[in-house]
C-alpha cells in the first residue's frame, strides 16, 4: 500500500469503496454495516482537507440570517468548532495519530482512543460537515435526481423523510445530532447520536456513511430560538445544501 501513496487519493478511495461495498453486500446480511467503510482506507473522503484544521466557512456569518443569526454562526464556527479542531490536534499529538491520514480512519476505531479524541474528533468532523450541509436560503429547496429517488424509495416521500429526520432531532434528549446516513448497501436511514458521536464511529448505535448532519446542541440555536428547538429544525430546511448531500451520496457509488 505504501507504494500507492503518490497515486490520486480520490481515485484510490473510490475504487476501494466499490470493492468494499461489493464484499460487504456479497457476504451476508449479518455483516456489520460499517465494515465497508472501516477497513483500511475504504472510507469515502470527506474532502475537508488534512491535518484536522478547520476549512474556511463556505459563506459569511450572516449568510443564513432568518434561519441562523450571524452571532450564532460566528460563535459556533470561531469558538465552539475551533475548539474541537484544536483539541483533536492536541489529542492526535498525544496519541501518536498521523494527521495526514483521513479523520474517518480514527473515527472508525474510536473505541481504541481517548474520550478526548472521541469528543473532539467527532466534534471536528461533524461541524466541518455541518457547514457544508448548509447554504443561503433558496425557495423550493429540495433534493433532485438519484438522491431524491433514494429518499422516496426509502421513506415513501420527501415530506415523510423530513418529518422523520426532524423528529430524530427534536427527540434527541440533551445535546447531539440528527443524521441521514447510508448503510453498506446504500439504503438511506435516519437516526441521532448523543454528544459529538457520529455514524462513522465503532461505538455508535447507528452505523453508516453520514450524508446530512443537523446540530441540535443548544449552542446551535439558543440565541435566536431559545428553548424552541422544533422551530429551529423546521426553519433549517430552507438552508440545506442538497447538492452537497448528493455529492456525498455519489462518493458511495
Ligand atoms: Mn455545534
For 1-14, the pLDDT digits (tens) are: 333 333 343 333 33
For 109-113, 166-170, 205-209, 247-251, which range has the lowest pLDDT when averaged over its residues? 247-251
Query: Do the Cβ atoms of 22 and 39 come closer than 8 Å?
Result: no
Residue ranges, comma separated, of all CATH 3.55.40.20 domains in the chain are 145-250
Ligand 1: centre distance to CA 80 (Å): 7
Indicate the CATH number for domain 4-132: 1.10.287.990
Ligand 1: centre distance to CA 34 (Å): 25
Ligand 1: centre distance to CA 109 (Å): 23
Query: What is the spatial distance between Cα 10 and Cα 111, in angstroms, rounded to a whole number?
Result: 27
How many CA atoms within 13 Å lie on the side-chain side of 164? 17
pLDDT of 214 over the 60 cut? yes
Ligand 1: centre distance to CA 230 (Å): 16
Ligand 1: centre distance to CA 195 (Å): 9
Q: How confident is the model at residue 51 (pLDDT cuts 50, 70, 90)?
A: confident
Ligand 1: centre distance to CA 127 (Å): 6
Residue ranges, comma separated, of all CATH 1.10.287.990 domains in the chain are 4-132
Q: Specify the residue for cell string 459556533.
A: 76
Q: Edge-to-edge, what's the strand order for the sheet holding 209-215?
A: 188-194, 176-182, 209-215
Question: C-alpha angle with apex 192: 64 to 119, nearest 5 degrees?
Answer: 85
Ligand 1: centre distance to CA 12 (Å): 32
3-state SS assignment for residue 9:
helix
CATH superfamily of 145-250: Iron/manganese superoxide dismutase, C-terminal domain (3.55.40.20)
pLDDT given at position 58:
94
Amino acid at each position: 500500500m505504501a507504494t500507492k501513496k503518490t497515486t490520486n487519493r480520490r481515485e484510490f478511495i473510490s475504487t476501494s469503496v466499490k470493492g468494499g461495498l461489493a464484499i460487504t453486500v456479497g457476504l451476508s446480511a449479518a455483516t456489520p454495516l460499517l465494515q465497508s467503510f472501516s477497513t483500511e482506507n475504504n472510507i469515502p473522503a470527506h474532502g475537508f482537507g488534512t491535518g484536522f484544521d478547520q476549512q474556511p466557512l463556505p459563506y459569511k456569518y450572516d449568510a443564513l440570517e432568518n434561519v441562523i443569526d450571524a452571532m450564532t454562526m460566528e460563535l459556533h464556527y470561531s469558538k465552539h468548532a475551533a475548539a474541537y479542531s484544536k483539541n483533536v490536534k492536541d489529542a492526535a499529538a498525544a496519541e501518536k495519530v498521523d494527521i495526514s491520514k483521513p479523520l474517518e480512519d480514527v473515527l472508525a476505531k474510536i473505541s481504541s482512543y481517548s474520550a478526548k479524541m472521541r469528543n473532539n474528533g467527532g466534534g471536528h468532523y461533524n461541524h466541518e460537515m455541518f457547514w457544508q450541509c448548509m447554504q443561503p436560503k433558496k425557495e423550493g429547496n429540495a433534493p433532485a435526481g438519484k438522491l431524491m429517488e433514494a429518499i422516496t424509495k426509502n421513506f415513501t416521500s420527501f415530506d415523510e423523510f423530513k418529518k422523520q429526520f426532524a423528529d430524530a432531532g427534536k427527540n434527541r434528549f440533551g445535546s447531539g445530532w440528527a443524521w441521514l446516513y447510508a448503510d453498506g448497501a446504500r439504503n438511506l436511514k435516519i437516526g441521532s447520536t448523543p454528544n459529538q458521536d457520529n455514524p462513522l464511529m465503532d461505538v455508535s448505535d447507528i452505523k453508516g456513511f453520514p450524508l446530512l448532519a443537523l446540530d441540535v446542541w443548544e449552542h446551535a440555536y439558543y440565541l435566536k430560538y431559545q428553548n424552541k428547538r422544533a422551530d429551529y429544525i423546521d426553519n433549517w430546511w430552507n438552508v440545506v445544501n442538497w447538492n452537497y448531500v448528493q455529492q456525498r451520496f455519489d462518493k458511495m457509488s
